[in-house]
Structure 1
């Protein structure tokens, strides 16, 4: 899709065109994770708990990638919207090189301290070795994850949400074949157990990165005609880091917030950890449309901001919230009717089913709050006003949950369900404040862009 289409076609049409492929891709990405969860459950309940613990730890490691890639999309989108294609290509090349470099460093650091980090988040001895065998393989392939994120950010800035979708669909089917192959072994391939799930993921990421590189080369923004275009540039890095820091820290805090939640969940036992891991993945399945919409919002807002069309920016947020709330209500009804069945498919243990179902039945009422957060983050990132993202993220992910979970679990010693009721209060209070702030910033920008503004 060219830059002119992103700044001239009707917003509702563009939202559908951009968000549907993105949502479909994320659907298969979540199904991918569900396949991993299914096979881990076949190994043992301890393996399922190990997968949950190590996955949350890895989400923390790759948190930096989100900030860098969303900032990269915004900066490329601004240049693309202004028809400054050489500058857009320069930003793309230097940004991709930086993000992959960070991925290599984060992966190596995580690998060196993986055992200590698993112990720190409360991983029990009975499944610590399993979690370690999984996370070590994943961390060695971190640069591939970062490469996929970075190359996709280049494509999203140009309005291409289909290429990443294609890699995720392919990855889902490849994972179905590779998981049992490496878990149980075949011929000269040894039986790797839970480490086989990790190896399958790394190989899928490698194939996805190769495809996305091919598609990025077709845009003209990425090419290898001049190696110096990939060299560090202080001005571009400074702007990229300035834009990436708030959302990057927000994602790190989101990942850290998951680790905080996991720490308190471990106090209820390893079956609670397994149930929480299943419930979390089922919940993510229903949030996919909202995540797809936020990806479309970032692309549309950054391009229209670059073209100086602020009224279209405001329309993008309005339509995104309307679509997101509608889809959330549908998702709530689906999970209310089928949540327990979903959890039971991954583990037959009654306690695990109870914990997973309890989590889902509370969290489904948070969907509209999450939609609000996703849309506001994408909008503020797109208009290059990301600072508040950090403050809201710190309150929602770190400060408030630490206090609330401590009171509920440690001080009052309440049951598992109250953890998530407390989280619901946090999510909606911060969502309302975030939405008010975002609208204020948009109105200011619209006024400033008018002839008399």
Structure 2
């Protein structure tokens, strides 16, 4: 367990974010390898991968319920020095994740076809998406166990073991992808199905390593099956914090699905291009997201310990770091978009649409960094409803004008990207407003002023 209530905030952010960033950068390489080999199978395969991959936003929505609530409650318990409370939260989270994982696996196989039929009219694209999902669904189901363990450890201030295991898992995925997709060394190419199978094998490997880690290492929290009985009080606490955060990702699933549906008339090439551009964009976001993901544990422990000044300091440093990284990424997309995308598809129309997407959408990267930071702080404070409301604001202000434009004779795909930029900027303003309101409600002013006075006295004394 790492005590994050002492020491400098920037140091804690960097020390926690660095291992996550390394893991995320390796995950970026995994995205690139997957895109490279699937892209060579043609626009239909790339579109199928993108449409099926969008289903992960739905899984993210469900896992986020446990991810956010488990980390928040455990960080509060650690800050309050209540180990028993932390263990109850962890074991209830593990129990729920196991049950939900089984349900997701069953629902995935039953619902894959209707989902793909809804957002694509190209039969070959649907066929490719189904081939991928058939092997990828076990990976989605096992995400719940992974998230429960990693979020619990993050709440105690520990990120390195999880990141090492996830990194090894991703490296295995990278090795398996060309072997299974293209048949390297085996002369048996599975095509897009191989991409799904590679992911499922790697996640099974990661879960096995995590279970071994918990069995052989002393930790602040541990698996205790006697605590797996249904604890309605604790489950209600998990859902109270987690459901709005999960709803936030569910709205992103709806948002992405709406875009695929809106650009359906432009054909498989347009859907492939959007899928390619959005995947590259998500990969570029990972370093900034690592900083934002580190913030809830730091701010959460200090909130639990009633060190409210350090909570606000965590926000300021996180916002500065994430927005600075996003500004750098924006410049890269404006100047090097074609260079980044040209190797992923031989179809020039796909590349042209994808380049235009990145060069337009990058104008919302800096406000997106502020959104990530605010979302992390809402998690730390134990109230994720404002994040859900800000995402709902973005969704409504995007879909209504987008639907109207799609009915016009001169509808262009680029118009969707302009609307997206405007709505993310609006979301950033809404999120910041909600966060300032939460600070006033949850961080007592007298405590803040006392902390500031104490720090000034200490500084004068030491000088």
Q: TM-score range by the shorter chain?
A: over 0.9
1:377-430 CA distances to partner (integer Å, 9 max, x unpaired)? 110111112222221122213x22221221233335432211111011111012
Measure, in 2, the Cα distance between the counterparts of 1:374 and 1:188: 43
* Aligned position for 2:200: 202
1:155–1:216 Cα contact (<8 Å) kept = no
Measure, in 2, the Cα distance between the counterparts of 1:14 and 1:206: 31
RMSD over equivalenced CA pairs, Å? 2.0
1:182–1:193 Cα contact (<8 Å) kept = yes
1:260-309 CA distances to partner (integer Å, 9 max, x unpaired)? 11111222111111111111121112211221111111111111111111
SS at match of 2:136: helix
SS at match of 1:192: coil
1:152–1:212 Cα contact (<8 Å) kept = no
Please, which of 409, 417, 426 is the counterpart of residue 423 of structure 2?
426
Measure, in 2, the Cα distance between the counterparts of 1:253 and 1:10: 36
SS at match of 2:81: coil
TM-score by length of 1: 0.94
Measure, in 1, the Cα distance between the counterparts of 2:139 and 2:319: 36
Query: Is 1:440 aligned with 2:452?
Result: no
* Aligned position for 2:135: 137
1:165-201 CA distances to partner (integer Å, 9 max, x unpaired)? 2233323321232112222447889542211110000
Measure, in 2, the Cα distance between the counterparts of 1:229 and 1:10: 36
Measure, in 1, the Cα distance between the counterparts of 2:382 and 2:31: 32
Query: Is 1:65 aligned with 2:78?
Result: no
* Aligned position for 1:179: 177
* Aligned position for 1:407: 404
1:72-111 equivalences in 2 (<5 Å): 72-111=70-109
Measure, in 2, the Cα distance between the counterparts of 1:243 and 1:28: 30
1:168-247 equivalences in 2 (<5 Å): 168-185=166-183, 190-217=188-215, 218=217, 220-224=219-223, 226-247=224-245
2:50–2:272 Cα contact (<8 Å) kept = yes
SS at match of 1:7: coil
1:366–1:424 Cα contact (<8 Å) kept = yes
Aligned residues: 449
Query: Is 1:11 aligned with 2:9?
Result: yes
* Aligned position for 2:413: 416
* Aligned position for 1:265: 263
1:103-161 CA distances to partner (integer Å, 9 max, x unpaired)? 22122112111101111122521221111011122113332111111111011111122
Once structures 1 and 2 are overlaid, which stretch shifts more, 329-338 or 214-223? 214-223
SS at match of 1:242: helix
2:20–2:160 Cα contact (<8 Å) kept = yes
* Aligned position for 2:302: 304
SS at match of 1:113: helix
Gaps of 5+ in 1: none
Quote the offset at 1:221 in angstroms. 4.6
1:50-97 CA distances to partner (integer Å, 9 max, x unpaired)? 101110123223421012211110001100111101110111111122
1:32–1:171 Cα contact (<8 Å) kept = no
Quote the offset at 1:245 in angstroms. 0.8
Measure, in 2, the Cα distance between the counterparts of 1:271 and 1:421: 20
* Aligned position for 1:334: 332
Query: Is 1:2 aligned with 2:20?
Result: no
1:300-379 equivalences in 2 (<5 Å): 300-379=298-377
SS at match of 2:266: coil
Measure, in 2, the Cα distance between the counterparts of 1:260 and 1:216: 41
Measure, in 2, the Cα distance between the counterparts of 1:206 and 1:440: 43
TM-score by length of 2: 0.92
1:53–1:123 Cα contact (<8 Å) kept = no
1:305–1:382 Cα contact (<8 Å) kept = yes
1:379-398 equivalences in 2 (<5 Å): 379-397=377-395
Once structures 1 and 2 are overlaid, which stretch shifts more, 299-308 or 136-145? 136-145
Gaps of 5+ in 2: 451-463
